[in-house]
Structure 1
Amino acid sequence: MLRSKSNWKFVTKQNSAQQWMDDSSELSPVIKELLIQRGISSDKEAEEFLMPSIDSLIEPERLASMDVARERVLQAISNNEKILVYGDYDADGVSSTTVLMEALEELGADCTYYIPNRFTEGYGPNEAAFRQAHANGFQLIITVDTGIASVHEATIANELGIDLIITDHHEPQEELPNAYALLHPKCSPDYPFKELAGVGVAFKFAQALLGYFPEQLLDLVAIGTIADMVPLVGENRVLAYYGLRKMSTTKRAGLIALKKQCNMEGTTTEEDIGFLIGPRLNAVGRLQDADLAVQLLLSEDSKEAEELAEMVQQLNQERQRIVAAIVKEVEEIVDVEQNNGVIVVAKQGWNEGVLGIVASRLVRKYDRPAIVLALNEEKGTAKGSARSIPAFDLFQGCMKIKEVFTHFGGHAQAAGMTLPIENINRLEQELSQIIDQELTVEDFKQELLISNTIQLPDINETLIDEINQLAPFGMANPKPKFHIHHKPVDFRQLGNMKKHLKLVFKENPVTLEGIAFGMGELFSSISPKANLSVVGELGINEWNGVRKPQIVIEDMKIDEWQLFDHRGKKQFAINNYLPLHEKHMVLYNTSSNTHPPIPDQVKQMAYDVAFETEEDVEVLYLYDLPPDLELLQKIIKKLKPLCIHVCFYVENSVYLSAFPSRDAFKWLYALIWKKQKLDVKTDLNAIINAKGWTKETILFMLKVFSELEFVKIENGIILLNKSPQKKDLQESTYYQQRVKQLEIEKVLYYSTYDELISWFEKGMGMMDIPKEEITHGL
């Protein structure tokens, strides 16, 4: 058995009630199932999803107060009023700022932008910034990707005589700000799509201002939409789809320079945005003012853009170093042995801008919610970020103890917070209690959403091309993960440090390779011919012009018991097998004294004692051959181990030694009868030369005769008993032990791997755990 790292959740079973409506569809069954999982069950809906159309986008005017906002901006441009675009410091915020700035500049507006400093001003509009804008002569402020919660700041703007237009997409609070105009999908009853990113709302505003569809801005829209992880369905899917196309051929000097820094060539994908572009733009605001990121996106000079991109790259590298350093410090602090439901760590001097990333790393490593706080001992406060596991709603959990915080905000999986330093211990204790009450042990494992179980013959390039039509992937449209249950024909470790695992599955005529990055340590936990369940993403591996389907494995497990064969090896590295299970036991024979060192955490037990134990054992190591086959069967039936390692090493094999026949016994006894006595020293070689027997064989027969009292042995002299009782050879205990030992070696040591598995299974009554297909009803 091999346990999975994650909880596997099959989507198929949940959506089994919905059926495809059009029998005439040419879509493959796999694609139909994936579309049904996305709420699509007809050819018309499938066509709209697989081939997104710009014509399906909603008119900007359906956003509430769009006309009012548009007229105010055009009036400001006509009157040459100064306009301030007030943005946010993340990738969505800087791309939103750039979109609106370009639209305003195209219209000839007198405009500039302002993004607050994360460390000195915090998130969103603030009174000081508004007062400074008023002092600088700004009469109109337009927020992008922020402002929906700025009730106080809107009041200040009104007092200063500044008109405030808010464009945002974050969750509206109970009280809305009293702004001149508020553009927000969730505050617009007539706007059917509610999940636009901040840049999506800014784009809609730009479209309304310009009076045409500004296709040239779509590359910026793709960045903010994908990086902010809004659901990639509906309008977001259309904007991301065409935005990525625009990004692939962008003429923007800033994006060209940034793509060069990322070594991006060819078609841009959502993964390029999510893992390369987005993190670099985010890094600027995490470490300093985010103005640099906007400057890069607005840049029209290639030389300037390359210099700015290099600065962004350096900041991203610095961000990576800071994160790595904090993670290292945290790992030295964290004590998972305490079994707390939540990890809470705090320290003076940590960079507040990266604590969310650190918390995410901790969640992935320790499979529990994590809160990382930077201390300000002068103010007596702790400020930081939290991330959670799928099974625990972090927002609701923290709201139960909201009196601990001075500031708190977020959602189910992520949050930000400020609290007095003296409340940190209380936060950890009370949140741990809440988690312990709500969650089970299984809940602490990460959740892996699986689209379907797929058979090897169904996997080919055509299917993978069809799956890729569902891109761009993201929130609400995850990249499909498939489950395969098959016996690998080959598996091996890869990489200099053997960190990765490569598997090959074969079912004629299909061969599928699997690569499991970072799972090299599982090599020792997969037995030959094990039925392996793997989950991963299907793709194409192209090398030297050869294209082959492959699966990038994210998790794996084996549901049945496993047998590991180490027979005949003098050295056995037991430490390789300890990490994945907790209860280990070595069985040995009391007559043996040749065992290698055994770690302290592994229990040692003799065969005769093991039969009396009531302990559960997960992994059983058989270091010596048992004294009895039936005893071994009873022990294993009782212990029910998940894994059995046979580690026998036999030096003086009974099985390989010739076992004398009855005729051999008769010949030797006749010789003794004839001579009346034999001298082992002088007669042994003559017998060896005459019959070709080994010395051990002759001595064995003589010991049997002695035990049956056919002869008497004194000081190497064999004397005939002239009046023996009639006895069968099998009445000799020595004879029986040798026959028994021969059978033990034959069954357990000299059998094939398949024969050995068969023997264990017959003796144990089949220890298999129910199969995966039955477990999940697939």
Structure 2
Amino acid sequence: MTSKWNYCPLTSDEQQVESDLAKSYAGVPPVSELLVQRGISSVREAEKFFHPSLKDLHDPFLMPDMDKAVHRLNRAMGAKEQIMVYGDYDVDGTTAVALVYKYLRNFYSHIDYYIPTRNEDGYGISKATIDMAARQGVKLFIILDCGIKATEEIEYARSLGIDFIICDHHVPDEKLPPAVAILNPKLDGSTYPCPHLSGCGVGYKLMQAFAISNGLGNTELEGLLDLVAVSIAADIVPMVGENRILTYHGLKRLNSNPNMGLRAIIRICGLGNREITISDVIFKIGPRINASGRMQSGKEAVDLLVARDVADAYARAKEIDRYNQDRKELDKQITEEANTILEERGEMTSDQKSIVIYNKNWHKGIIGIVASRLTELYYKPSVVLTYSNGLATGSSRSVQGFDVYKAVESVRDLLENFGGHTYAVGLSLKEENIAEFTRRFEQFVSDNIRPDQLTPQLDIDAYLTFAEITPEFLSLLKQFNPFGPGNSKPVFCTRGVTDFGTSKLVGRHSEHIKLELVDSTCGKVMNGIVFNSAASFDHIHSGKPFSICYTIEENKHKGGSAIQLFVKEIHPE
């Protein structure tokens, strides 16, 4: 599906700021424009952006209930109460549990952790788990990346003398659970400066506050930032403000002295002899951690992340890698089955603005991935459902700019449970309600989605000539890392490009094009690659001009490196 290319030129006020910044970056003109697009208005702000400092992390006690949470944690430890660290089975939840458990076990021994299983326990906290904890003598739960909607369950826990500290970042309901403390920057009335922390990020802030209250140093805590970076990247939260600082330093840790469990995954992924980037976390490290919770038990991921023995960590990482291979095969199979059903429905030509699809035999751990694939292919908000524990259970994913949480919330009277974010929601409902859910979900999407949100969009940061793509520009561009929502990898456009005469088809099925291109500004030949675009080769090879939309990468090889364009799309002129 061809994307619409969007470019929003700077306003007159922004142009003035850009002009002032350009004086400091005169040799690399595009840099000042990119900085202004990210809300940076001075050289001082630019330097803080290029060199994020842990000193600029926010005071954790700015978060509502933080003082209550720390007081209850200190009281539990003083009384030698049994503490349970509990979290979701995805990457964010398992890294959060690993972080809090690893940090607190340095000072306290009456502590354990638990991750629910996707198929048996389901999402969040359950009464069965509370009963199990009560039998073990647990008096305090620290619950991470879930719990914000567990009102009934936490009321039940209170009746058994068990307290909860909730560390969550999902959208809360009006009625909040009766926890001792609720740490969630999305709470109504919260003025915490970074409202989009990951669940692991909220756990880190609790540990930061605990350290401050007890006069502890920062060394142990900063040693856990690799876990926070993995959670932020995998959960795709905005890469701005505090999140960007945490990720910047977490990536440094990941590349220099990672957690033993992460080190084992890095080895399994074959990333040991190269710089690890956000893309590596998203596409290689994160999926392996996630595979544990999808295919077996998320507790196995935590077991790996808190491992103290090198051989043990590597053995666990190999097992999790096997889960990931199984996950890939199931993902491919279920996606193909879903596509077959949708093709039979005529989905590509349908006027429907959303997709809801149900198959009771699909693996519960894979349907979120399948929902993402369907959303990418058909570019519609998608819900994929399967059958588990007596209910139709599913995941929803959305297209850019459309809030699927509000769409699901609009039919909450048909649901047994739901929760999530703007672009991803988990839900469950009775089988007999699927047809009505499908009708009303489609109605809400049709009434609220804009036509432009049903077409893929490529936002262009700047127009460049090949003469402007210099090693100096690449060097500064690398300092825009780490990339993510709110600080996306810059996308550039160059017009009037022609083939140097040496571009060629590559790949097992000649599906990709290795590009060697020139433009009219200089004699420089730019190397590039465009994937799955063989249909454009005849136009390129004809010598006719075209426009390219691309990111700029550093292609490292033995003895040096070169600039390479990763071309996203080609438009004939």
CA contact (8 A) 1:95 1:220 kept: yes
More displaced stretch, 330-339 vs 359-368:
330-339
Contact kept? 1:219, 1:250, Cα under 8 Å: no
Aligned counterpart, 2:468: 458
> What's the CA shift for 1:130?
1.5
Residues 1:253 and 1:139: Cα distance change in structure 2 (over 3 Å):
same
Q: Does 1:296 align with 2:310?
A: no
Q: Measure, in 2, the Cα distance between the counterparts of 1:483 and 1:338.
A: 31
Residue 231 of structure 1: how far off its partner (Å): 1.1
1:5 matched to 2:12 = no
Determine if contact 2:384/2:396 at 8 Å carries over to the other structure.
yes
* Per-residue deviation, 1:100: 0.9
**CA-to-aligned-CA distance 1:510-554 (integer Å, 9 cap, x gap):** 221221012123223546232211111111223443533221011
**Contact between 1:88 and 1:94, CA under 8 Å: does it hold in 2?**
yes
Cα distance in 2 for residues equivalent to 1:16 and 1:554: 31
Are 1:19 and 1:41, in contact at CA under 8 Å, matched by a contact in 2? Answer: no
**Aligned mates of 2:67, 2:451 — CA distance in 1:** 54
**1:421 counterpart residue number:** 431
- For 1:196, the equivalent position in structure 2 comes to 197
CA distance in 2, matches of 1:553, 1:332: 30
Shift of 1:433: 5.1
Superposition deviation, residue 448 in structure 1: 1.3
C-alpha change, 1:405 and 1:72, in structure 2 (3 Å) is: closer
Structure 2 residue 454 is matched with structure 1 residue 444: yes
Matches for 1:492-641 after TM superposition, within 5 Å: 492-507=504-519, 508-526=522-540, 528-559=542-573
Aligned partner of 1:235 among 242, 251, 274: 242
3-state SS, counterpart of residue 19 of structure 1? helix
Structure 1 residue aligned with 2:165: 165
Quickly say closer, same or farther: Cα 1:184–1:342, change in 2 above 3 A.
closer
Deviations 1:715-759 (A, max 9, x none): xxxxxxxxxxxxxxxxxxxxxxxxxxxxxxxxxxxxxxxxxxxxx
In 1: Cα distance, 2:12 partner to 2:84 partner: 49
Q: For the structure 1 residues 70 and 282, does the alpha-carbon distance in structure 2 shift closer, same or farther, using more than 3 Å as the test?
A: same
Q: Secondary structure at the match of 1:535?
A: strand
User: What amino acid does structure 2 have at the position aligned with 1:34?
Assistant: L
In 1, the alpha carbon distance for the partners of 2:12 and 2:311 equals: 53
Output the aligned Cα RMSD: 2.4
The CA distance in 1 between the partners of 2:473 and 2:42, in whole Å, is: 19
Whole-Å separation in 1 of the counterparts to 2:206 and 2:404: 34
Which residue of the partner structure matches residue 625 of structure 1? none
Whether 1:309 aligns to 2:314 is no
Aligned to 2:490: 480
Letter aligned with residue 358 of structure 1: V
Please state how far the C-alpha of 1:403 moved relative to its aligned partner: 4.5
Alignment of 1:40-59 (within 5 A): 40-59=40-59
TM-score scaled to structure 1, two decimals? Answer: 0.68
Structure 2 CA distance, aligned partners of 1:130 and 1:143?
Answer: 12
8 A Cα contact 1:87 1:146, kept in partner: yes
- Aligned match for 1:255, one of 255, 258, 262: 262
The CA deviation at 1:263 is 0.5
Gapped regions of structure 1 (runs ≥ 5): 560-778
CA distance in 2, matches of 1:391, 1:196: 20
Distance in 1 separating the partners of 2:450 and 2:241: 36
The CA deviation at 1:181 is: 2.0
Alignment partner of 2:370 out of 352, 358, 368: 358
* In 2: Cα distance, 1:15 partner to 1:346 partner: 51
1:185 corresponds to 2:185: yes
Residue identity (%): 34
Q: Could you say which residue in structure 1 is the equivalent of 2:404? A: 394
SS at match of 2:266: helix
Counterpart in the other structure of 1:111: 111
**Contact kept in structure 1, 2:22 and 2:32, CA below 8 Å:** no
Aligned to 1:319: 327
Whether the 8 Å CA contact 1:116–1:123 is kept in 2: the answer is yes
- Shifted more, 357-366 versus 209-218: the winner is 209-218
**Contact 1:229–1:475 (8 Å) recurs in 2:** yes
User: Counterparts of 1:526 and 1:323 in 2: how far apart (Å)?
Assistant: 35
Distance in 2 (CA, whole Å) between partners of 1:399 and 1:524 is: 48
Structure 1 residue identity aligned to 2:366: V
Q: Which residue in the other structure is 2:25 paired with?
A: 26
Structure 1 residues 351 and 240, CA gap change in structure 2 (3 angstroms): same
User: What letter corresponds to residue 365 of structure 1 in structure 2?
Assistant: L
Decide whether the 8 Å contact of 1:541 with 1:547 is kept in 2.
Answer: yes
| Aligned counterparts, 1:139-178, within 5 A | 139-178=139-178
Distance 1:90 1:52 in 2: 28
**Which AA in structure 2 matches 1:193?**
C
Higher relative contact order, chain-length normalized (CA < 8 Å, sep 6+): 2
1:412 Cα deviation from its structure 2 partner: 3.7
Most deviating of 383-392 and 183-192: 183-192
CA contact (8 A) 2:185 2:192 kept: yes
1:628-777 to structure 2, matched below 5 A, reads: none
Query: Distance between the aligned counterparts of 1:423 and 1:141, measured in 2?
Result: 34
The residue identity in structure 1 corresponding to 2:312 is E
Confirm or deny: 8 A CA contact 1:96 1:202 kept in the other structure: yes
The code of the aligned residue for 1:299 comes to: A
Match of 2:120 in 1: 120
Q: Which residue of 2 aligns with 1:374?
A: 386
Ranges in structure 2 where 5+ consecutive residues have no aligned partner: none
Structure 2 counterpart of 1:774: none
The 8 Å contact of residues 15 and 37 in structure 1, kept in 2 or not, is answered as no
- Conserved 8 A contact 2:291-2:327: yes
> Which has more radius of gyration?
1
Distance 1:544 1:480 in 2: 27
CA offset at residue 232 of structure 1? 1.2
Q: Secondary structure at the match of 2:516?
A: strand
Which residue is 2:224 aligned to? 217
**In 2: Cα distance, 1:450 partner to 1:238 partner:** 25
- TM (norm. structure 2) is 0.91
**Structure 2: distance between partners of 1:393 and 1:64:** 26
SS in 2 for 1:350: coil
**C-alpha deviation, 1:288, in angstroms:** 2.0
